[in-house]
Structures are given as structure tokens and as C-alpha cells.
Structure 1
Amino acid sequence: MSFEYLDSPKLKKFQRKVTLLSAGGTFLDGYDLTIIAVAMPLILNQWEITPIMQGLLTSSAVIGSFIGAMWFGNLTDKYGRKAMYVIDLLAFVIFAALTAFSQNVWQLIIFRFLLGIGIGADYPISATLVSEFSPTKQRGQHSTSLAAMWFVGAVVAYIVGIVLAPLGQNAWRYMLLIGAFFALIVFYFRVTLPESPRWLAAKGRDAEAKEVMRKITGMEVEIAIPNKPKQKIGDLFSKSLLRRTFFVCGFWFCYAVAYYGISMYTPTILKTVANGSQMMTYIGSGTISLLGLLGAVVGLTLIEKIGRRPLIILSFSGLTLSLIVLALNPVPTLLFLVILFSFAVLFANMGGGILNFVYPTELFPTGIRASASGLATSVSRVGSILGILVFPNLVAAWGNRAALWFFTAIGLLGLLISLWLAPETKGRKLEELNNEFASSLSDQTLMG
């Protein structure tokens, strides 16, 4: 098969470039989604914001990403990976800059929402492009490195917060503006990447696919265009793919509810036991984010060794156990909260937080791969919004322990879904996984 040339060691440098520039997008995702939590205490000091408005401000980018993931995922399958890959970075540059110059909370909410559309779009675009260019045996590591960079972005957000906080009432504006600067750098280099030859071949554009393969391999490669049924977004809910669709949406939803519900309010939670110290709050929150990054790195090193299925089961098991211990402690200290939250996000990110970039791109065929990733991302954004909005309301109504028990139940649900449905795709070529769907679809057509 022509795409076996992508497994050549000679392409490592090019594949690292694709992965690095895609990871630049997820770095921006992590930075932009986390920096609002870092900046929130400073914004609250400057503007009078009601709890409802605070929740809307915190969730506005996540709501935007729900739309961006679904919309751009489908557009990526229709019009190509590269076009959307470059366009969505423009949203990062423009709207990150505009958030920094917002004159009131409504402007900030609107610009954060529009920024969120770009954030959501980048998930299916980057993950799909990396998956389609990566060598089979390192595909998991390449894909999970995207997720790891999300947490690098989150850690950098806290570092930026610590460095810029002393600059006064406009410090939060500088924090948001830095996101636009990072985006401009990534945008500049992304325009140099080619279109995915797998997508071109799936569209019947074999001459263009051959040209891309020639440029990146230095050889003339024959592109075999398989005669398969045309794929459409409705196939995600067909008998052939429904289990896979439910799995990728289900585990990512559970991860997002737990992770975002906890992480977006970590500074607020820690401040209540840090004697009002803003610096201790940032240091504690940054430590938790750093352990979250460590979890992603651990998962990245294990994914091609122990496989996808054991990793995601271990992830949800550790997350659930950590949340149980947290919920059982009625009067936690700052140190206790930092340690247990760190363990919770470490385990969460070890599996659920990185395999969301792997499973959606491995389990679905080329013609609907980005659409599947976009759908799963959108469902996860529903989980993120739920986590963000439910947590403060649960705390207000029943206290921290009730909120933690709620997230414990969500972690347990993610574990059960993984035990029931998580497949093993380690070492399998994308075309092999595609053929399973095509064969199943053909069988259904004959039976019909």
C-alpha cells in the first residue's frame, strides 16, 4: 500500500515538524482555556461581576469550542485538513488580541466565545492531520504529544500569571495578549505544511496525493485508490460504528466533566485554604497543572508499550480513587488539596486526557475521521460546560464534598465505559482499521 512509505525512518524529521506545529495549536488551547482561570481573580477585583456572569465568562470559550469542533470537523473532511488548519489559527490571533482590549465583561465574553470557536476547531484538525502523517508504530506517541502540549500550555498560563500579576490592574490584559503572540508564531510556520495525502486519495485526487508523497519522500509513489462505499457523517451512527462513536464520546465526556470541573476552579478552591494569599494560590494551582503535565508525559511513554485499553482503564481507576479520598476528607488543608488534586489530574491526563487525541482518529475511516473527532470534541465540550457550571452551584448548595462525590460518580462512569468498550488499536495501520468499517458496511448493504 502506498502509505506504507510514511513508516520510513527517513520521514522522522518531517513528521516531527507536523506534530510540533499541530502541538502548537493544542498548546494554545491549553493556554487560552487556563489563562482565564488565572486572570479571573484580577478581573473580579477590577469589575463587578455576578456569579452567573462569572460562570458565563469562564465557560464562554468552552461553549465556542463546542460549535467550532462540530462545524470545523465536518468542514475539514469536506475541504481538506490544511485549509482549516491555517484558518483556525487566525481566530486565535485575532480574538485572543481582542480579549485583551475588552472594555467590559460582555465584550470579554463575546471575544472569548469567538476565540473558543478556533480552539474547538483545532482539536479535530490537528489530531487528524498528525494521525494521517504519523508512522504506524509511533502514531500513538505522536498523537498523545498533542495532548501533552495542552498541559504545557496550562502550566505556562500559571507561570505567566505569577510573572505578570505584580504589574497591577491591567496584568490580566497582558496575560490574554500573550496568547495572541504565541498564536502568531504558530500560524507563520503552519502555512508551510502540505495537505494530507490520505485525504486527497480518499477524495479521488490521486495526482495531488502522489505529488505530496513525492515531495515528502523524494520518490514516485503509486497511490492505490480503493473502491469503497462513500463515507458520510451519518455513518457515525450506523450499526458498524455506533459502539465506537459512543465510546469516544462517552469516555471523553466523563474526562471533561471531571477535569474541567476541578481545574477551572482550582485557584478559587485553593484560595479558601491559602489564607487569601494570591501567590500561594497560583503556586498550588501551578503545581497541580505541572503534575497533570507529568501524567500526560507518563501516558505518552506507556501508550505504545502497554497499549491504549490498559492505559485508559488505569487512568479512570486512579482518577476515581483520588476523588474518593478527597471526598472523604471533610476539612482538607492546602497541602492535602494540592497533593490529591495533583494525583487526580495526573491519572486523568495519563489516559483520558491524551487518548482523546488518539482513539477518535484511529477508530474512524478517512472520509469521516475529522467529523468523528469533531463530534467527540463537541460532546466533551458539553461535559466541560457541565463541569464548569455544576461545580460552583453544587458547592454553593451542598458544599465541596457533595461536588466531589458528583465528580467521583462521573469518574466511575468513565471507568465502566472503558471496561466495556475500549478497543486495542496499538500497532494497527489506519487502512486496516478503515477496512473493518468498509467490510462491515458492505455486509450491511448486501443484507439490506
Structure 2
Amino acid sequence: MSVSLAPERAPSPADAADARPVIRSAADVSALVNRGAALGSDARIVVAIALGGVFLDAYDLGALAFGVKDIAREFSLTSTGTGLVASAITFGAIIGAFLGGYFTDKVGRYRVFMADMFFFVIAAIACALAPNAWVLGGARFVMGLGVGIDLPVAMAFLAEFSRLQGRGNKAARVAMWCPTWYAAISVSYLLVLGLYAVLPAHQSGLLWRLILGFGAVPAIAIILIRSRYMSESPVWAANQGDLTGAADILKRSYGIDARVDAPAAASAPKARRASWSNYGALLRGVYLRRTVLATVIAIASSFAYNAVAFGLPVIISSFLAQSVLTTILASLALNLCFAFVGGLVSVRIVPKFGAWNLTVIGYFFQLAALVGLAIVGKPATGAQVVIAIAFLAAFLLGQGIGPGSHSMTFASLSYPTSLRGVGVGFNQTLMRASSTVSLFLFPVLSAALGTKVFWIIAVAPLAGLVALFAVRWEPSGYDVDAEDFQSPRA
């Protein structure tokens, strides 16, 4: 969509006397956000709360990793029944992402985020108290709806409460989802470790209930503090034509005291309104190239990471042939020391090096690591074990620095405010579907191929590299929100 900005009018004597920034259109609101928040504003707290939602997503997705066998034993489930319970959250996330993307653009970021938190609370408590597999599977499906809905709205908050350039810019804030994700996975490992140590042997069956139920705690905390700090996105409010509301949000959350020029605002162009047809807009014009790139990165990243990271306990135990405790500790150490640290490094350097460059570097790390794991095979000596673990570490470091951090950067910052919700929602719908396939295929392929399965997994980072070199799109530092009012950059 291409429209011209509202014409400038000559400043009046009153304008000259009032030094506050003037808002004449939604573009002015976006420009104020791009300059950065005032010192002491609530913008960083809003970002932190949005990241709290990402923490819940990751925690709830990974919380069942060590409890599946106990659930199967308690409810006398077949392998099919166990698979359905374990995958219910993923199916919910697929539906939730598609719906959440639309409603994030339609009714606003704040309302969707607050409704989403209740999904987490209710579902977590229901999981902890589930009397049978049907209730547990249903609660996990509802939890998946919350997970799917949350990422589009969380990414919108991160992008729309951040400056355009410099340290802590939009790309860096969006990339923060990655270390937050790995921190949540690590917390779930730590909880498993702590409960594993303190629970008596005859009460070990409570472990999975306590782990799933804990997910309600951070969700309740977010609900309790929402009224003090959370606000609607000022850019989204302005795009809906509510410039006065956007000015109020800027003052309350951003520390910027701006005034609305009512006559100019009345004639300002309106942005694209939310509708289901906006999903089609992702597949037209310049957005088609960006959508293809963001989708390939997301699917490749998800497929490879799920196969390696969620299969990490199995991989480590086969390499080391050690106890459950050793497997938990090794998985925790690898996630914290490499995936988490890689994500933090990426957040820090993306304003300088760009998301495209870092994603390319990350995929090269992963491709080399997976080829190395395939060549090493099942380690027969101590030295080979060390080499195999080093390759796993390199894979996770590459994930944190590159596609793990910036799959969301490409998904969130390839689209302006009017399309951001559906853009992330569409991306996550396809990514979750890929995740479901990879979680199903990995144990099947692993059983059939052994360590040769790494040759298959290596196709994912290779596909990501091909897409990146075919579409050289750099979202970091580019004012994509301006595309709601002017022609997009090719």
C-alpha cells in the first residue's frame, strides 16, 4: 500500500511557544518510538513483561521432556496415547499462532496479551491436577493455544517498544526472545534436577505434575503487575486512528510528552486495517520474498533444533551411557553455556553486524557441526566422545548466534505494524507444523539410521543458507513501520 503523508502546515505562534513534539499522523508516533524512550520510562519494563510471555512459551513446551515416561506409566498409555498427549501442545500452538496473529492486529497487542496469560494459568493448573490422560491432553492443547497466541503479540511488543538504531534497537530486542527461550528451558531442567533430588522415591510420580503446575506461577505474576506497567503499543493505537490515545501511551510508558495537532490528524492517512485478507498480503509484492525467507529460516531452524536439542538427552545418554542425572546435567550445561550465551552475544552485536550476517554465520556453524557428528558416528573412544560433545556445543552456539535469535527478527521486522501480527502468526503456524514433523521424525529416523540421521538434519541449515543467499534482506536498522504510509523497499 502506498499513500502520501499528511501535508505539513506552517507552525503557528502557539506551536513555537510549545516545545513538545507534535503528532500529526501515525508516522509521527512511529518516528518518536524510533528515537528511543526517555530515561526512567516504563518501556524496558514492558519489554521485560513481553519476554516473560516468551519464557512461559518455552517453559511449557519443554516442561514435559522428562515426564513422558511417568505419565505413560501412571495412565497406562500406549505409545500412540503417549504421543498424542505429548504433541497436544504443539497442535494447539499451530492453531493459536494463526488465530493469534489475526487478533493481535485486530483488537490490539494489550488485550490479546492479557487474555493469553489466563490460558497459561488455567491450563497449567489443569495439567497439574489432571485425573486422566484425556484431561491432561486437553489442558496441554489449551496451553498450546496460549503458546501460539503469545508469540505474535510478544514480538509486536518487542518491536514496537524499541528504538530503530543503536544498542538495544528493534532487532536486538526481538532477538532477546532467544536467550529468554533457552533460560526457560534451563529453568525447567533445574526444576527437574531440584525435584529429582528432594522428592522421595515413592513420590517420584509427582514430578511431572509439579513441573507442569509451576508454569502458572510466572503467568500469575505477569497478570498482577500488568495494570502498573503494561500499555497498548503506541504505534498500533496510532495506526487505528487513535492519535490521542497514542500520545497518552507515549507519555505514560515512553516518557515522551507529545501533543496532537487535531486538524492535521483529521486529514492524516489511515494505515491498513486488520482483516483475514492480510494473510494474503504476505504473499504479494515485496512481502512475498521476505515471507519466503522468514519461513525457510523458521522451518529450518525449528527442524534442526528440535531434532538436536529436544533429542539432546537421548543423544548424550547414547554417547556417554550414563545415568539420568548425568544426562540432565549435561543437557543443562550445553544449553546454558552455548545456546544461551550465543543468544546473548547475538543480542549485543546485531546492531553492528546485522541479522543476515549473523544468521549466515550461525547456519555455517550448524552445518559443520552436523556433518562432523555424522562423520564421528557413535563414539568408541574417550577422544571421540569429547569431539562429539564439542560438535553439539558448536551446533547450539550457532543456533544462539544465528537462526535461533533471528528467525524472529526476520518474521517480526519484515512487516510493518499493520501486518506484524499476521506475519509472525503465519510464520509460527508453519514453524509449529514443521516442529511437529521433526519431533515425530527424529526418533523414527534415529532408530532406523543411528548417527547417520545427522546427514538428514544437515539439510536444514543448508536450506537456510540457500534461502539467505537467494534473498539478501536485512531487517535490522530498517524502518519497516514506515511502509504503512509509503512504498516498501525491495
Superposed displacement of residue 230, structure 1: 5.3
Distance, in Å, in 2 between the alignment partners of 1:24 and 1:75 is: 20
The residue that corresponds to 1:303 in the other structure is 350
Distance, in Å, in 2 between the alignment partners of 1:17 and 1:122 is: 17
* Residue of structure 1 aligned with 2:430, choices 365, 379, 385: 379
Tell which deviates more after alignment, 202-211 or 3-12: 3-12
* Residue of structure 2 aligned with 1:219, choices 257, 261, 278: 257
TM-score by length of 2: 0.84
Residue 438 and residue 147 in structure 1: after superposition, are their counterparts in 2 closer, same or farther (change >3 A)?
A: same
Residue 416 and residue 279 in structure 1: after superposition, are their counterparts in 2 closer, same or farther (change >3 A)?
A: same
Secondary structure of the residue that 1:244 maps to in structure 2?
A: helix
Tell which deviates more after alignment, 226-235 or 311-320: 226-235
Q: Is the CA contact 2:159–2:174 (under 8 Å) kept in the aligned structure 1? A: yes
* Residue of structure 1 aligned with 2:307, choices 252, 261, 269: 261
Correspondence 1:238 to 2:284: yes
Superposed displacement of residue 18, structure 1: 1.3
TM-score by length of 1: 0.92
Please give the residue correspondences for 1:244-255 in structure 2 after superposition, counting only pairs within 5 Å. 244-255=290-301
CA RMSD between the two structures: 2.2
User: Gaps (5+ residues) in structure 1?
Assistant: 441-448
Superposed displacement of residue 159, structure 1: 0.6
The number of aligned residues is 439
1:66-114 residue CA offsets vs partner (Å, 9 max, x unmatched): 1111101101111111000111111111101111122333332221111
Name the % identity.
25
The residue that corresponds to 1:328 in the other structure is 375
Q: Is the CA contact 2:72–2:78 (under 8 Å) kept in the aligned structure 1? A: no
Q: Is the CA contact 2:272–2:484 (under 8 Å) kept in the aligned structure 1? A: no
* Residue of structure 1 aligned with 2:389, choices 338, 344, 349: 338
The residue that corresponds to 1:289 in the other structure is 335
Distance, in Å, in 2 between the alignment partners of 1:437 and 1:233 is: 19
The residue that corresponds to 1:158 in the other structure is 189
Distance, in Å, in 2 between the alignment partners of 1:386 and 1:300 is: 29
Q: Is the CA contact 1:214–1:221 (under 8 Å) kept in the aligned structure 2? A: no
1:358-409 residue CA offsets vs partner (Å, 9 max, x unmatched): 22221112111111011001111011111100101112223232x2111101
The residue that corresponds to 2:15 in the other structure is none
Q: Quick one: which amino acid aligns to residue 18 of structure 1?
A: V
Residue 41 and residue 112 in structure 1: after superposition, are their counterparts in 2 closer, same or farther (change >3 A)?
A: same
Q: Is the CA contact 1:2–1:221 (under 8 Å) kept in the aligned structure 2? A: no
Q: Is the CA contact 2:409–2:475 (under 8 Å) kept in the aligned structure 1? A: no
Q: Is the CA contact 1:285–1:338 (under 8 Å) kept in the aligned structure 2? A: no
1:325-360 residue CA offsets vs partner (Å, 9 max, x unmatched): 011112226544433222212201212111122222
Secondary structure of the residue that 1:38 maps to in structure 2?
A: coil
Q: Is the CA contact 1:308–1:423 (under 8 Å) kept in the aligned structure 2? A: no
User: Gaps (5+ residues) in structure 2?
Assistant: 1-27
Correspondence 1:279 to 2:330: no
Q: Is the CA contact 1:287–1:338 (under 8 Å) kept in the aligned structure 2? A: no
1:245-291 residue CA offsets vs partner (Å, 9 max, x unmatched): 11111110110011112222222332334435110110111122212
Superposed displacement of residue 438, structure 1: 5.6
Please give the residue correspondences for 1:94-105 in structure 2 after superposition, counting only pairs within 5 Å. 94-105=122-133
Larger radius of gyration: 2
1:101-160 residue CA offsets vs partner (Å, 9 max, x unmatched): 223333322211110110111111010112111111211221111222111101111111
Structure with more helix by fraction: 1
Distance, in Å, in 2 between the alignment partners of 1:359 and 1:395 is: 31
Superposed displacement of residue 241, structure 1: 1.2
Residue 102 and residue 336 in structure 1: after superposition, are their counterparts in 2 closer, same or farther (change >3 A)?
A: farther
Distance, in Å, in 2 between the alignment partners of 1:196 and 1:277 is: 48
Tell which deviates more after alignment, 330-339 or 286-295: 330-339
Please give the residue correspondences for 1:290-439 in structure 2 after superposition, counting only pairs within 5 Å. 290=336, 291-332=338-379, 335-401=386-452, 403-435=453-485, 437=487
Q: Is the CA contact 1:365–1:437 (under 8 Å) kept in the aligned structure 2? A: no
Correspondence 1:177 to 2:213: yes
Residue 248 and residue 327 in structure 1: after superposition, are their counterparts in 2 closer, same or farther (change >3 A)?
A: same
Superposed displacement of residue 9, structure 1: 4.8
Tell which deviates more after alignment, 367-376 or 59-68: 59-68
Q: Quick one: which amino acid aligns to residue 296 of structure 1?
A: G
Correspondence 1:146 to 2:177: yes
Residue 221 and residue 423 in structure 1: after superposition, are their counterparts in 2 closer, same or farther (change >3 A)?
A: farther
Q: Quick one: which amino acid aligns to residue 376 of structure 1?
A: N
